[in-house]
Amino acid sequence: MKMKKALKVTGITLLALLIALIVAALCYVLYVVIEYDRIEDNLQLEVSAGNVQESAQKGEEYSIVTYNIGFGAYSPEYSFFLDSGEMLDGTQVTGIYAKGLSKEDVQKNTDGAVNTLKGLDADFYFVQEVDVDGDRSYHIDQLAALREALGGDGTFAENFHSAYLLYPFNDPHGKNTAGIATFSKVKINSAVRRSYPVDTGFAKFFDLDRCFSVHRLSVEGGKELVLINSHMSAYDEGGTIRAQQLEMLNEVMAEEYAKGNYVIVGGDFNHELADSFGTFPSEQKQPTWAYKLTSEDLTDGFSIAASKEGTGTCRAAEIPYEEGVNYLTVLDGFLVSSNVEVSAVKNVDTGFAYSDHNPVQMTFVLK
């Protein structure tokens, strides 16, 4: 009888625990669903004002940089839990970490990325994966650091405002707010945030609220320089969402070019831009997510300004970085209208010391 009673109590206890776990899981799913909210399209962005020139000049050479700083987490030792790949010998590899290795490490990477940008002394900057308040980045305000270092006019377009993400259970990604930042030494007259199409399935609760920001700057003679900072989808099996995003971007580019404006789109395209597959030594197979983007995919009057000289702009992040081991490709660069003359495009080799990306710098002249 005692044994029966003990088994009964144990069974009831286990059942109660199971029910509690199921209720907790349902409550968490409900919390994530309630917290989810897409940011509206055509949202006017606040422009933080700096000491800048009033308009851009034709015939003058300017410099622009794009850099995905990876929320300050991607030291060479870092691998990201959502990334996976395959070595040449068939070994499957998957990243480990959801947050930066430590607050000190994120601060080091943030400082390194900011100082790298400042040292390039550009006229315009596009920066992606900028955390303003994140568990994954130990609540270091990277936007404030960028504003202080780069100055000029600036905007910030939020593209990640997640609920508290419990996964992975041993190192939760947490609750995070991040976005794309733009800085200009020429006055930004206005700026607007455009919402890209995104996955409508369950994955939407964990992915970025993808967007691009459109900035209008005066040019002597009455036209405008339209600067577009973009961060397209990465985790998109089959490339369906990225195709929709590219269609939307092409529509905006075509509309601005038809007005006679000068258009430059830059950022992390999550597409291969420079025919770089197989260019860089690697012990990994080409990743399945890497889709090629060519000038034929762009609306009339536009071309790609990207380079595969020297180094790639993005490293595979499912394993720590080791030169000659990780797969490298070119995901970062620019799209330019035909009235923008590109003088040079350079991939800035940081050795992936502060991010899984390298900056790209382009010099150009408005015709």
Burial class for 74, CB neighbours closer than 10 Å (0-12, 13-18, 19+): buried
DSSP state of 205: G
Q: How far is CA 175 from the centre of its chain?
A: 17
Helix, coil or strand: residue 275: coil
pLDDT confidence band for 8 (50 / 70 / 90):
low
Comparing 34-48, 77-91, 128-142, the range with the smallest average pLDDT is 34-48
Answer whether residue 161 shows pLDDT above 70: yes
Answer whether residue 94 shows pLDDT above 70: yes
Q: How far apart are CA 9 and CA 57, in angstroms?
A: 82
How many Cβ atoms from other residues are within 10 Å of residue 84's Cβ?
18
Q: How far apart are CA 166 and CA 205, in angstroms?
A: 12
* pLDDT value of position 195: 95
Task: Express each pLDDT in 313-324 by its tens digit.
Answer: 999 999 999 999
Query: What is the Cα Rg of the chain in Å?
Result: 23
Answer whether residue 139 shows pLDDT above 90: yes
Burial class for 59, CB neighbours closer than 10 Å (0-12, 13-18, 19+): exposed
Q: Are 265 and 335 in contact (CB under 8 A)?
A: yes
Backbone angles phi, psi at 258, to 5 degrees: -65, -25
Share of the chain above pLDDT 70, in %: 91
Q: How far apart are CA 67 and CA 331, in angstroms?
A: 11
Task: Express each pLDDT in 254-310 by its tens digit.
Answer: 999 999 999 999 999 999 999 999 999 999 999 888 889 999 999 999 999 999 999
Question: Is this model's pTM higher than 0.85 or not?
Answer: yes
Q: How far is CA 39 from the centre of its chain?
A: 17
HSE on the CB side for 327, CA within 13 Å? Answer: 23
Q: Any residues with CB less than 8 A from the CB of 360 and at least 6 apart, and which?
A: 65, 66, 67, 266, 306, 307, 313, 332, 333, 334, 345, 346, 347, 348
Q: Are 304 and 293 in contact (CB under 8 A)?
A: yes
Helix, coil or strand: residue 81: coil
Q: Are 104 and 155 in contact (CB under 8 A)?
A: no
Share of the chain above pLDDT 90, in %: 75
pLDDT confidence band for 165 (50 / 70 / 90):
confident
Helix 103-120 crosses helix 142-150 at what angle (to 10 degrees)?
Answer: 20
Q: How far apart are CA 157 and CA 182, in angstroms?
A: 9
Query: What mean pLDDT comes out for the span 101-116?
Result: 98
DSSP string, 19-43: HHHHHHHHHHHHHHHHH--PPPSSE
